[in-house]
Amino acid sequence: MAHMFIFAICSALIISRVDLCRIPETLYVLVPQTIPVGYQVTKVETADCDTRSLVLSLKDPSFTIDRNRAIVALSPVSVVGRGRTFSVWVQDNSGQGSEMEVHLMRRTAPETHNSKGLLKRTKRRWSPPPFNLKENMKGPFPKVIDSVVSDSSVTYKVFYTMSGPGVDQAPIGLFTLDRESGMLSVTNAVDREQYPLFNLKVSVFNAENGQPTDLPLNLRVLVDDENDNAPEFAGPLQFTLPERSSAGTAVGQVKATDKDAPETSHVKIKYTLLNGLERFAIQPETGVITTITNTLDREAQDKYMVTVMIKDLFGAVNGLQNTATATISLSDINDNPPTFTKALYEATIKENEVDKLILRIPVEDKDLVNTSNWRSKFVITKGNENGHFRIDTDNSTNEGLLYVVKPLDYENGDKVKLEIQARNEAELTGTTAQWMSVPVDVTVANVDEGPQFSAPTVTFNVVEHVPNGTLIGTYTATDPETKSSNGIMYYKTLDPGSWVNVDRNTGELKVANTIDRESHFVKNGMYNITMRAVDTSSKSGTGTVILVIKDLNDNVPKIPSELVLCESGGDALGSVVFVAEDKDSDPYSSPFTFNMPSDSDGKWSVKKLNDTAATLKQEKPLRRGIHQVPIIIRDLQGNGDTQTATVKICQCRNGVCLANQSSVELGPMGILALLLPLALLLLLFLLLAFFCVTKMDKLEIDDKEYSGGNLLLSNTEGPGDEVDSTLIKVPIGIEQAGKDSVKGSLVNVGWMGTKSSSTIGGHGVHDNGIYQQGITTTKIQDYNSGQYNTQYAGSQLVGNSMSCIDSRYLSQDGGSLRMWQANGNYLHQKLKSFETEGDDIMEDDIIHSYEYEGNGSAAGSVGCCSEYGDNANLDFLNTLDPKFKALAAVCRKS
């Protein structure tokens, strides 16, 4: 019957639909004969249900289902006879519910009578929990552990079942339980470090009906530990310690673990050092390594390797052990100052040199390279009171770099003794050593220097508009070697307004032109002049003269050139605010006074707004357009006059006259201004047409008078020489060509289609000669023949007179060509005559030196003109146009 019952339950579970929320169809529960209130009968187990929408219910009012799905008694319930049965329903949002029948069965137990005749219920008893199992036990297997016996076996014929880890869970099959005798056996060795504990569940059933005869037993199987695991190191064995640490300083802690059972001697580890005992020690219980000396020097040895042994059973002979090497590195401290490689350093520098490296000072440092303990910084402790030197550090070599930053003067001393100290970026620690210093001797070499002004900058006060020739002051210089001013000449190198003359011998500064404080050359009332002093060896020095210009009341307040008054609309009268400006400074400037003239027509009034501004108001209605308004403006000193303000009355937008306003006010003069460019353009076309159709006149070069405005005259060979017109042969057919030749000029032989002509040197005039007869067409290539080349004929003589070309002016018989050749012959003869004539013929062409004009002359000395190289500079002759150079090349030909 019991087998059939179990089979029915299993069949019901197998055939149930797995896709619906379900519970077992039948459940048997052993309960006391009287169930007290609050007694938990059982817990409902569900499968494939939605826990969020799960609903459990039952029909017996004596029981309820709490939130944990446990069936709890609401009132005392007696279980008699064949027991008590009720149903439990379960349903979720799938809509399909399941029903389970719960059968409550009275728990049976033998009863005995006590001495007083009262009935008592004995407790059920399982024997013997718990069980112990030693790990790594030897075979053969299976090996019996113990037996599990329920007291219900005395009353019933029972059988036992077991479940849990080691049975039907991993590791599956490790334990077996004899179904009838309850004998528990193990089938294999167990590793405690993997499975320290097994929680098994043993149940007992009536062999006849399959119903439980006792509550299930939770059986614990403990695996006893065996020292089968050696301790292991945890974490890296890398430690760092500052050098020179005191004895007893903690280096670091060695950490180890053991897989054996905690709180047993199997995991009690002892730490031992196998070497390095002269410098380090280790605490046996904690594994903390400490120093036993204070002499650890990184510069001597920066790393130590020590062997550490760990052993369980706290170091017992039979304990398991492991060893490893710990690395102890020493970190650097600044216990070594930088040292110099020499006891004395020497350097040489020329006087007046500046920003120059004169010495590299190497040092040595035993500390860790490229750290603050190694990097050096240098200090000049002595000899640099005047700030002539600077010392830096070369970051790559750690050397000291000594620079001269302020010029040295040999005359003030040829030797400078310095003392330089080398330090580190970090302070010294762990040592009694001190920073070291080294002497440096700097030799100053003498240099022939230029003169030096008495001061680099000198200031003179001067009143603007002082008369020319007024002495401003004297600015002199001396030779640093001789301390004398003899032979020193003074010049200006910068005088933007040419306001000052300098006496070359004395350095006196005098007014040369009007000094105006309001000039744009003056900044903040000061005007700068740069002076140069030159000695006999052409060496020079410079200085600056600052003229502090005192203001005069030489300017009156001025109003803007045009004022725009916007119409207010209707009968309202407008006004405009204007600002007056006075170039003078206080007290010759603002505040201003504003008034209308006494004979004012009453159309306008002016009212002061502030120190520099006023409001010009319209007192009567006025037409649009330009109005001239007289206003009297005076400065603080009463200096001023009547000025006329140009006021434009117009319709405005954003303070600007509208565009159509200007077109409405356009009068006859405006129309004339628009037509004038058109008339000029028409006149230009008429002139061009006139020049192109007018016959060419002869040109005569007039050299009767000498013009001082010309540096050179190209149409004169020398003063008093004349061109013999009889030497110039002109071709027949060119009327009046040879007759109109004049002295000092050449006949115009350019293209004759224009009235303009060009001559050598540019001094040409028009005459009435007309070339038109005997001119026929010929090829331009014919001009390439003759004693001179095309460049000479076409470029040098013809020049730029190439407009309005007319081939009719080239004769067929080569007359024009012969004329060019004749002119060329004459020029060659003239050049040849220069070689035989004396130098006195050119005496008027040479440069003359002019002497001092004498005392009392208003002009004074000619000054710069007394020297050839001052202002009569002929350097421009080296940059003449290429055409002039070509002419010179032709003239040099023999």
* Residue 837 binned pLDDT confidence (cut-offs 50, 70, 90): low
φ, ψ of residue 164 to 5 degrees: the values are 125, -175
Choice among 653-657, 814-818, 824-828 with the minimum mean pLDDT: 814-818
Choice among 218-222, 715-719, 818-822, 825-829 with the minimum mean pLDDT: 715-719
| pLDDT confidence of residue 126 | 62
Structure tokens at 146: 């113990």
Closest CA to 492 of 534, 531, 452, 547: 531
**Paired strand residues for 347:** 442
Q: What residue has token string 């105006």?
A: 516
More confident residue, 97 or 128: 97
Q: Is the pLDDT of residue 731 over 70?
A: no
Closest CA to 177 of 197, 199, 201: 201
Phi-psi region of 686 (alpha: psi -120 to 50; beta: other; left: phi over 0): alpha
Domains 2-107 and 563-665 alike in fold: yes
Peptide bond into 557 cis (omega under 30): no
| pLDDT confidence of residue 845 | 52
* Residue 690 CA from chain centroid, whole number: 69
Q: What residue has token string 């019933």?
A: 156
* Residue 444 binned pLDDT confidence (cut-offs 50, 70, 90): very high
What are the start-end ranges of the E strands in 48-125? Answer: 55-58, 63-65, 70-73, 77-78, 84-91, 98-106, 111-113, 119-121
CATH 2.60.40.60 fits 452-550, yes or no: yes
For residue 823, the one-letter residue type is: N
Q: Is the pLDDT of residue 134 over 60?
A: yes
Give the count of beta carbons closer than 10 Å to the beta carbon of residue 787.
11
Strand order across the beta sheet in which 563-566 lies: 563-566, 640-650, 625-634, 593-595
Give the count of beta carbons closer than 10 Å to the beta carbon of residue 78.
11
Give the count of beta carbons closer than 10 Å to the beta carbon of residue 24.
18
Quick: pLDDT tens for 565-589.
Answer: 888 776 778 888 999 988 888 888 8
Choice among 37-41, 645-649, 703-707 with the minimum mean pLDDT: 703-707
What is the distance between the terminal CA atoms of the chain, rounded to a whole angstrom?
157
Q: Is the pLDDT of residue 827 over 70?
A: yes
The secondary element (H helix, E strand) that includes residue 662 is helix 659-664
Q: Is the pLDDT of residue 497 over 70?
A: yes
Contacts of 546 (CB under 8 A, 6+ apart): 457, 458, 459, 460, 526, 527, 528, 529
What's the length of the chain? 894
Mean pLDDT for all residues in the chain: 78
CATH number of 121-224: 2.60.40.60
Closest CA to 783 of 749, 745, 735: 749
Say if CB 283 and CB 290 are below 8 A apart.
yes
Say if CB 363 and CB 340 are below 8 A apart.
yes
More confident residue, 98 or 357: 357
Q: Is the pLDDT of residue 214 over 60?
A: yes
The secondary element (H helix, E strand) that includes residue 677 is helix 668-693
More confident residue, 457 or 764: 457
Give the count of beta carbons closer than 10 Å to the beta carbon of residue 766.
14
Give SS3 for 661. Answer: helix
Q: Report the CATH superfamily, name and number, of domain 2-107.
A: Cadherins (2.60.40.60)
CATH number of 563-665: 2.60.40.60
- 3-state DSSP helix/strand/coil % of the chain, to nearest 5: 15, 35, 55
| pLDDT confidence of residue 687 | 85
CATH architecture of residue range(s) 339-445: Sandwich (2.60)
**Paired strand residues for 215:** none
* Residue 54 binned pLDDT confidence (cut-offs 50, 70, 90): confident
For residue 499, CA distances in Å to 281, 464, 710, 871 come to: 93, 11, 28, 18
Calpha distance 840→719 (Å, rounded):
11
* Domain limits, the chain: 2-107, 121-224, 232-331, 339-445, 452-550, 563-665, 668-693, 696-837+879-894
More confident residue, 843 or 121: 843
Say if CB 366 and CB 398 are below 8 A apart.
no
Choice among 43-47, 197-201, 208-212, 289-293 with the minimum mean pLDDT: 43-47
* C-alpha triplet 774, 777, 778: angle, nearest 5°: 110
> Top-level CATH class of 232-331?
mainly beta
| pLDDT confidence of residue 129 | 62
Share of residues in the chain with pLDDT > 90 (%)? 38
Share of residues in the chain with pLDDT > 70 (%)? 72
Calpha distance 629→56 (Å, rounded):
110
Q: Is the pLDDT of residue 887 over 50?
A: yes
* pTM of the predicted model as reported, rounded to 2 decimal places: 0.42
Q: What is the mean pLDDT of residues 711-733?
A: 48
Report strand pairing: 526-534 vs 575-579. Answer: unpaired
| pLDDT confidence of residue 125 | 52
